[in-house]
Amino acid sequence: MKFDLNESEPHTTPVLFSSDLKRAAAFYEGILGFRSREDRNSLVLSRNNLRLRVIETDDPGLMSNTGVMFHVDNFQNLYEELSRHSQPQTAILTADAEFPPQFSLYDPDGNTLYFADKSSVAPYHTNPN
């Protein structure tokens, strides 16, 4: 059985966890420019073709060592935009032959958000068939 995805459209919504949805909404809307709507005990966030759900929890184990990577167009513009918000955790990570240029930052709950240059598709993202 062959399983193909139409990669021109997003097919997944990453999930992260937060101890305070109001604080998370302020960060994702005010700093990252996402639009949000509340859905039960979570936020549904979107920015262009990026999607994210943040679920409220009081379990610190769910918020530790959690992260998500977004592959974005206009990578350099996004980096500059976020740098203007004085995100001290924002850093360009070294790109090499296997990985596209990327940077990361932390949300208020310590979740790591990675943003990678979509135009620099790494070999592990190519279809071997």
In a domain, 8, yes or no: no
Among 24-28, 53-57, 124-128, which stretch is predicted with the lowest mean pLDDT?
A: 124-128
Tell me the whole-structure pTM to 2 decimals. Answer: 0.78
Any domain includes 88: yes
Determine the pLDDT at residue 28. 96
In a domain, 1, yes or no: no
Strand ranges, E, within the chain: 15-18, 35-39, 42-47, 50-56, 67-72, 91-93, 102-106, 112-117
Q: How many domains does the chain fold into?
A: 1
Q: Report pLDDT digits (tens) over 53-110.
A: 999 999 988 877 789 999 888 888 888 888 887 665 666 666 677 777 888 888 999 8
Query: Which residue range is the domain that position 75 belongs to?
Result: 15-57+65-124
CATH number, residue 115:
3.10.180.10
Question: Which residues, 6+ apart, have CB-to-CB distance to 90 below 8 Å?
Answer: 79, 82, 83, 103, 104, 105
In a domain, residue 129? The reply is no
